[in-house]
């Protein structure tokens, strides 16, 4: 294996674009026993017993067979759930897979040399900062142009005029909008999103990974506008991160384009069985959402009582700015006490900590730890 052979070094075998890529940095999945994990927005409750049973009973000799290539029963159940048709739905290996597919289906890679405004728009992927930190990576993997537009200090959705003044491109080939937003937890009012979608000409993906914890969602915009796709996932709200199942809802033309590009068996069979069983026991999950929303309010009040600033959250996490210590310090001190949260070292986010809502006991320990850190 030593470099005896003449020719290219392994590095030179790799496309220049890929050589320069920085991969996505997922939240830590630590092996430390007893650690309280409030860093990746997983649901602290297990899936419904019906889901566990469905997975167990699917795990037999049939594992040798390929799964349903079009996830047909799951797409039919999702169509019923959302009041649309199966051709309005594509299922992916997590919504991350579909977010990546969209770059390949709707965006031209960046071209060299002088480009017209129209060509630039065709090559542009745009999103807000801060929002889901995967988007810039997906743009880079595809070799697209990035248009990052900063959210205001309040993290609220700007009106169209303010967006225009901030170089938001209403003709961009693809726009990703996380709603409710991560990491801020802010919900964007559907009325504001509707105005944005009305003016937006390119494909607009409303990434609703946390919609189940919010007071409203924008699903109707995917039905109203052919260029709007809504992204949902079983990962967070439905306690199925491990299984990797997400989906888009939208116009059959856009859904069909993604469908032609996906891998033939992109959704694993146990994931399909688990997601299908999830939809048959929605009541179980609604109770979880209510519990998380109540605990979110209580945790917010407790932190505010300490003088911390907490943004109003519509997700299963809160974004909090501490008083009396820096967010980075709070993060480190919590970590020493075996409580893991998420701190983003970016200009807009570094004064804040993102804390997933865990169980009652976990949140109690988190608050006790925070108070003891403040006393030091
Ligand atoms: C977690 C998350 C996803 C990814 O979900 P998967 O279905 O697990 O791939 C997508 N978007 C946002 C904003 C998320 O937080």
**4-14 confidence digits (pLDDT tens):** 666 779 999 99
State residue 376's pLDDT score.
87
Q: Are residues 96 and 27 in the same domain?
A: no
Backbone angles phi, psi at 197, to 5 degrees: -65, -35
State residue 6's pLDDT score.
67
Q: For the whole model, what pTM was predicted?
A: 0.95
257 within a domain of the structure (yes/no): yes
2 within a domain of the structure (yes/no): no
Cβ–Cβ under 8 Å, residues 310 and 350: no
Give the separation between CA 86 and CA 89, rounded to whole angstroms: 5
Residue 305 pLDDT exceeds 70: yes
1 within a domain of the structure (yes/no): no
Mean pLDDT, residues 173-178: 98
* Residue that terminates a domain, selected from 281, 313, 331: 281
DSSP 353: E
210 within a domain of the structure (yes/no): yes
Q: Are residues 79 and 38 in the same domain?
A: no
24 within a domain of the structure (yes/no): yes
For residue 334, give the CATH number of its domain: 3.90.1150.10
Mean pLDDT, residues 332-348: 94
126 within a domain of the structure (yes/no): yes
Task: Work out how many domains the chain is built from and give that number.
Answer: 2
131 ligand 1 Cβ < 6 A: no
For residue 73, give the CATH number of its domain: 3.40.640.10
Cβ–Cβ under 8 Å, residues 346 and 130: yes
**197-244 confidence digits (pLDDT tens):** 999 999 999 999 999 999 999 999 999 999 999 999 999 999 999 999
Centre of ligand 1 to C-alpha 182, Å, is 10
| Helix or strand run (H / E) with residue 250 | none
Centre of ligand 1 to C-alpha 130, Å, is 15
- In the numeric block, the tokens 């699917």 are attached to 58
Pairing of strands 145-150, 203-207: unpaired
Centre of ligand 1 to C-alpha 233, Å, is 7
Q: Are residues 156 and 194 in the same domain?
A: yes
Cβ–Cβ under 8 Å, residues 197 and 222: no
Q: Shortest CA distance to 354 belongs to which of 177, 152, 176, 181? A: 181
Residue 2 pLDDT exceeds 80: no
The interaxial angle of helices 360-375 and 282-305, nearest 10 deg, is 10
Query: Residue 108 sits in which domain range?
Result: 49-281
137 within a domain of the structure (yes/no): yes
Q: Are residues 22 and 158 in the same domain?
A: no
* Residue that terminates a domain, selected from 281, 308, 340: 281
pLDDT band for 311, please (50, 70, 90 cuts).
very high
42 ligand 1 Cβ < 6 A: no
Mean pLDDT of all residues in the chain?
Answer: 95
Please give the distance of CA 32 from its chain centroid, rounded to a whole number. 25
Q: Are residues 183 and 38 in the same domain?
A: no
Q: Are residues 341 and 276 in the same domain?
A: no
State residue 4's pLDDT score.
60
Mean pLDDT, residues 253-268: 98
Pairing of strands 228-233, 203-207: parallel
Atom of ligand 1 nearest to the CA of 233: 7
Structure tokens at 283: 């009541």
Q: Are residues 199 and 213 in the same domain?
A: yes
Mean pLDDT, residues 316-329: 97
Q: Are residues 185 and 297 in the same domain?
A: no
209 ligand 1 Cβ < 6 A: yes
**131-168 confidence digits (pLDDT tens):** 999 999 999 999 999 999 999 999 999 999 999 999 99
4 within a domain of the structure (yes/no): no
Mean pLDDT, residues 31-44: 91
Give the separation between CA 125 and CA 203, rounded to whole angstroms: 10
Q: Are residues 335 and 251 in the same domain?
A: no
Q: Are residues 82 and 169 in the same domain?
A: yes
CA-angle at 342, arms to 336 and 344, nearest 5°: 120
* Residue that terminates a domain, selected from 281, 303, 323: 281
- Which residue among 25, 130, 132 has the greatest number of ligand 1 atoms within 8 angstroms of its CB, and so is best to mutate? 132
Q: Are residues 82 and 211 in the same domain?
A: yes
- Which residue among 209, 239, 354 has the greatest number of ligand 1 atoms within 8 angstroms of its CB, and so is best to mutate? 209
Residue 1 pLDDT exceeds 90: no
State residue 34's pLDDT score.
84
Q: Are residues 56 and 122 in the same domain?
A: yes
């Amino acid at each position: 294996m030593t470099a005896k052979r003449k020719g290219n070094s392994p590095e030179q075998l790799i496309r220049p674009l890929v050589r320069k890529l920085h991969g996505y940095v997922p939240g830590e999945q630590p092996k430390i026993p007893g650690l309280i994990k409030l860093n990746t927005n997983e649901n602290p409750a297990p899936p419904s017993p019906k889901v566990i049973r469905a997975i167990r009973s699917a795990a037999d000799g049939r594992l040798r067979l390929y799964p349903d290539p079009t996830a047909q029963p799951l797409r039919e159940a999702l169509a019923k759930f959302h009041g649309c048709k199966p051709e309005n739905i594509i299922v992916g290996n997590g919504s991350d897979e579909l977010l990546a597919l969209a770059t390949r289906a709707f965006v031209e890679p960046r071209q060299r040399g002088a480009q017209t405004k129209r060509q630039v728009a065709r090559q542009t992927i745009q999103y807000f900062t801060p929002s889901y930190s995967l988007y810039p990576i997906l743009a880079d993997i595809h070799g697209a142009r990035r248009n990052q537009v900063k959210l205001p200090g309040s993290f609220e959705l700007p009106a169209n005029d303010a967006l225009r003044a901030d170089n938001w491109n209403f003709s961009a080939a693809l726009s990703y909008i996380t709603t409710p937003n991560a990491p801020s937890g802010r919900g964007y009012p559907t009325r504001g999103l509707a105005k944005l979608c009305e003016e937006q000409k390119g494909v607009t993906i409303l990434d609703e990974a946390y919609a189940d914890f919010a007071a409203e969602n924008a699903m109707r915009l995917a039905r109203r506008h052919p260029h709007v796709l809504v992204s949902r996932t079983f990962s967070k709200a439905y306690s199925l991160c491990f299984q990797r199942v997400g989906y888009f809802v939208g116009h059959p033309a856009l859904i069909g384009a993604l469908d032609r590009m996906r891998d033939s068996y992109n959704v694993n069979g146990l994931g399909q069985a688990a997601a299908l069983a999830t939809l048959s026991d929605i009541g179980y999950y609604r109770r979880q959402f209510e519990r998380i929303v109540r605990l979110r309010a209580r945790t917010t009040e407790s932190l505010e009582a300490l003088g911390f600033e907490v943004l109003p959250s519509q997700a299963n996490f809160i974004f909090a700015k501490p008083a009396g210590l820096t967010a980075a310090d709070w993060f480190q001190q919590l970590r020493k006490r075996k409580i893991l949260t998420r701190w983003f070292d970016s200009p807009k986010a570094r004064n804040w900590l993102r804390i997933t809502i865990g169980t009652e006991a976990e949140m109690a320990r988190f608050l006790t730890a925070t108070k003891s850190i403040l006393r030091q």
